[in-house]
Chains A and B, each alone.
Chain A
Amino acid sequence: MLSRVAERLYWMARYLERAENTARLLNVYSQTILDLPHGVAPAWDTLLWITASSDVYGERYQNINERNVIKFLMADLENPGSVMSSVRFARENARTSREILPHEAWELINELYVDLKANAQNSLARRTRYQLLQRVSRTTLQLTGLLEGALNHGMERRFMALGRNLERADMSSRTLDVGAGVLLRNPDNDEVGMAYEGLLWTHQLKTLHALHAYRTAVGPRVEVESVISFLVDNTAFPRALGSCMMTLHNTAEQLPRPEVPMEMVSAVSQRLHRFKTAGVDGVALHRFLDNFQNDLIRLQAVFDETWFHATH
């Protein structure tokens, strides 16, 4: 298989996953702020932080407010991390790999792009935003299901799995990094912070499609330590960091020249496993996740060297 084709499929899967994750993030956040008590302002820059786009934002907008942030993350083509851009990049990659994909896959991506182009700018209001983001979320989930059911077991599928799981690990770790205190950003208001802690962590779980799975595995009470441990060293839930690493490992194993990537993934898994959730504080959690983010960057570099841009 051509390295170029492998790389395109990999990125198509990553961008689709990113579009879905971002759409869901915006939707869940928009719902969650409705439950904040009067006087506690939702921190819109939290969304910029999760998506690692504060710098780009700063170049484009002066004020951080709901309308600007939503526009930036949903509809702005100048922001490479927006839903709109993610769908566009996924479409570009799909367009140049059309011969590999089932026909409906191309159609779905294309329709989604056309829909966003026509409607994203005028769906910024809270009420209409919900519908559009849900369409994005559903279409991308539909695509994932279509590719899962219609592609041969082979390398195409494996490179997409690689991209999807790396992106998932990325989103899950960023979501965790936000933590409860940041959403409120209100240090004098500890009582409110405590009362809404459950609400905020529930929001994190919903963002990651994890609420139902968490309830089934852990119980209905959403507690900080349980949530962290559920999303870090856990191989049962597909979006938990541990599970993403396991899938990367098993997928790499079935690709040519897997030694270096596998070794690195194993090392990351080990670090997840050693992380102690009990009594964890914000500083320790942040440092841990920061390291994990660096691990993901290194993994991407190893993928590039091994499969996509190999020169030897």
Chain B
Amino acid sequence: MPIDWRKYDSGEFYDELIASPGHPRRAGHKLAKYLSSLTDEELRERRDAASAAIHGMGITFTIYSEGDNIDRDWPFDIIPRIISNREWQKVQAGLSQRIRAINCFIQDLYNEQKIFEDDVVPADIVLGSRNFLEPCRGVTPPHGVWSNISGSDLVRDHRGRFMVLEDNLRVPSGVSYMIENREVTKRVFPELFEEQSILPVDEYPVQLYDMLTSLSPRKRKRPEVVVLTPGIYNSAYFEHAYLAQAMGVKLVEGSDLFVDDNDFVQLKAVEGPERVDVIYRRIDDIFMDPEVFREDSVVGVPGLMRAWRKGNVAIANAPGSGAADDKVVYAYVPKMIEYYLKEKALVPNVPTWLCSDDKQRAYVLEHIAEMVVKPANESGGYGILIGPQASQKMLEEYRQRIQDDPRNYIAQPTLRLSTAPVLTDHGVAPRHLDLRPFILQGATSTVTAGGLTRVALREGSLVVNSSQGGGSKDTWIVGVD
């Protein structure tokens, strides 16, 4: 039986493709019509073709708990998620505004700390965070920008409004999957690209490269740019290799680099040492330099912080930028936008309760069963409590955790996240999703056309992380004429 959109109902949720049963949204009209013209058999064929392509292209990811199995095929749903270009332009402007404000904040935080003096953000919640790194004080990176590459997670609520769920300012991953998803879709649905303008996504590596070279302390045509990876056991290793290749630069591990007596970073090469200008690091702050941070780090480079502080090498993202990647700090971003840019936030935050505040904590403890509680400092969806789905025992445990360490928890209402149709074994069905666009900031900022759509493949699930049963979709920014 071909797809009948009249029988597709996402209920109370905003659906990205179907506005109400039988009625696709304008930007998705052609897709919906095309999909319903295919037989079950044809749909199955396309799904198999996508799996074969993913397998053949070697698009993999790693789940740490799986031991030796370090590359699993990337779970992918073939039905693209569609956003109209007009709507997207507003989101782009909002994300660009947001990252500018955040970078002003980090620069302020490690230098003058005016925002604390002016009482806009309480000093203790930031300075007390383990992501605030004292050795970064007094440094101004190139362009005054700390977080050059970020990936904010966006969700839509039941009315279809985009909201920022969190900012990933350290080493956000997923951009290679965004590009590869498009390659897969082109193989599976080449017919669909004929009749509409879908913005290409493969410019990203060039934009990334241009931004990275703009940070170089030596002004030369091709500065030595490297991608620093913790190695093949890292869950995002596929992406590290992908980006290095797409930029035509070297992929290095910490042991490939050393810092010389003059505090320059050098690459160990068969031709002899070569000076490195820019490091796109994909390892966390605290592993970067065992002389300054964790002594037991084997993936870092001793002396790297010295070289960086002297301006002999640029590091993206700058060490210490994680100080703003904290769910408590996140809550203050709209205020930062007003404070630094004198503008109103174009894309709102999800309402957030800070457990460090007595009143807000009292509210959270009382309403915990309706809320989502998150640790301030984790990523990958770990440590999250989803109130409505949790047992009494879990709720009690989290109440206790919050009281023991209020600074480390925030709470948000359980969002009615938007849905989009996913091809299941029993036809199409709505599933919840989010969106991670990637933002580059050097002298100027760029936002990807769309981003990585992550989708919860289990019915009713709100968890989209690939490490926890999530999949992804190609994301199309479509011009509507």
Contact = CB atoms under 8 A, between A and B. Distances in A.
A binds B: yes
Contacts of B247: 215, 219-220
A35 B206 contact: no
A34 B209 contact: no
Given A35-B200, A221-B210, A127 B190 contact: yes
Nearest to A37: B197
Contact of A219 (B187, B190, B222): B222
A234 to B, nearest CB: 16
Contacts of B163: none
A199 B195 CA distance: 19
Interface class of chain B by DSSP:
helix
Which of A31, A38, A217 has the largest count of B CB atoms less than 10 A from its CB? A38
A215 B197 contact: no
A33 B198 CA distance: 12
Contact of A220 (B187, B200, B248): B248
Contact of A38 (B188, B196, B206): B196
Contact of A127 (B49, B206, B479): B49
B176 to A, nearest CB: 14
Interface-central residue, B188, B191, B193, B210, by most chain A CB under 10 Å? B193
A32 to B, nearest CB: 10
A152 interface: no
Interface string A191-218: 0000000110000000000001011111
Nearest to A39: B197
A67 interface: no
B183 to A, nearest CB: 8
Nearest to A202: B202
Given A221-B206, A221-B209, A199 B246 contact: no
A38 B210 contact: no
A57 to B, nearest CB: 22
Contacts of B159: none
A215 B245 contact: yes
Nearest to B205: A220
Nearest to A30: B190
Contacts of A127: 49, 187-188, 190-191
B58 to A, nearest CB: 15
Nearest to B200: A35
Best-surrounded residue of B186, B195, B203 (most CB of chain A within 10 A): B186
B467 to A, nearest CB: 30
Contacts of A33: 193
A185 interface: no
A218 to B, nearest CB: 7
B481 interface: yes
A39 B190 CA distance: 16
Given A35-B200, A38-B195, A220 B188 contact: no
B190 A126 contact: yes
DSSP class of A's interface residues: helix, strand, loop or mixed?
A: helix
B248 A215 contact: yes
Nearest to B187: A130
Interface string A156-192: 0000000000000000000000000000000000000
A283 B481 CA distance: 37
Contact of B481 (A30, A38, A215): A38
A298 B49 CA distance: 47
Contacts of A214: 248
Q: Which of B191, B206, B222, B479 has the most C-beta atoms of chain A within 10 angstroms of its own C-beta? A: B206
Contacts of A221: 206, 209-210
Given A31-B186, A126-B190, A127-B188, A212 B210 contact: no
A139 to B, nearest CB: 16
Contacts of B222: 219
B282 to A, nearest CB: 18
B246 A38 contact: no
B311 to A, nearest CB: 24
Contacts of B210: 221
A40 to B, nearest CB: 9
B334 to A, nearest CB: 34
Interface in B33-60: 49
Contacts of B49: 127
Interface string B171-191: 000000000000000111011
Contacts of B190: 30, 34, 126-127
Interface string B53-96: 00000000000000000000000000000000000000000000
Interface in A90-111: none
B196 A220 contact: no
Given A31-B186, A220-B205, A215 B246 contact: yes
B395 to A, nearest CB: 50
A34 B186 CA distance: 7
B197 A38 contact: yes
A179 B479 CA distance: 27
Contacts of B481: 38
Contacts of B187: 127, 130
A83 B124 CA distance: 70
Nearest to A134: B56
Interface in B125-179: none
B146 to A, nearest CB: 24
B245 A212 contact: yes
Nearest to A196: B200
A34 B194 CA distance: 7
Interface string A12-50: 000000000000000000110111011100000000000
A194 to B, nearest CB: 14
Question: Counting chain B CB atoms within 10 Å of each CB, which of A31, A33, A218, A220 scores highest?
Answer: A220
Nearest to B225: A219
Contacts of A222: 206
Nearest to A213: B248
Contacts of B209: 219-221
Contacts of A198: 203, 206
A34 B193 contact: yes
Interface string B346-377: 00000000000000000000000000000000
A198 B206 CA distance: 11
Contacts of B479: 37-38
Contacts of B191: 126-127
Contacts of A220: 205-206, 209, 246-248
A37 B203 CA distance: 15
14 contacts: A33-B193, A37-B197, A38-B195, A38-B196, A38-B481, A39-B197, A126-B191, A127-B49, A127-B187, A212-B245, A215-B245, A215-B246, A218-B248, A220-B209
Interface of A: 30-31, 33-35, 37-39, 126-127, 130, 198-199, 212, 214-222
Q: List 10 tightest A-B contacts by C-beta distance, closest first.
A: A215-B248, A34-B193, A126-B190, A38-B197, A37-B197, A220-B209, A220-B247, A35-B200, A216-B248, A220-B206
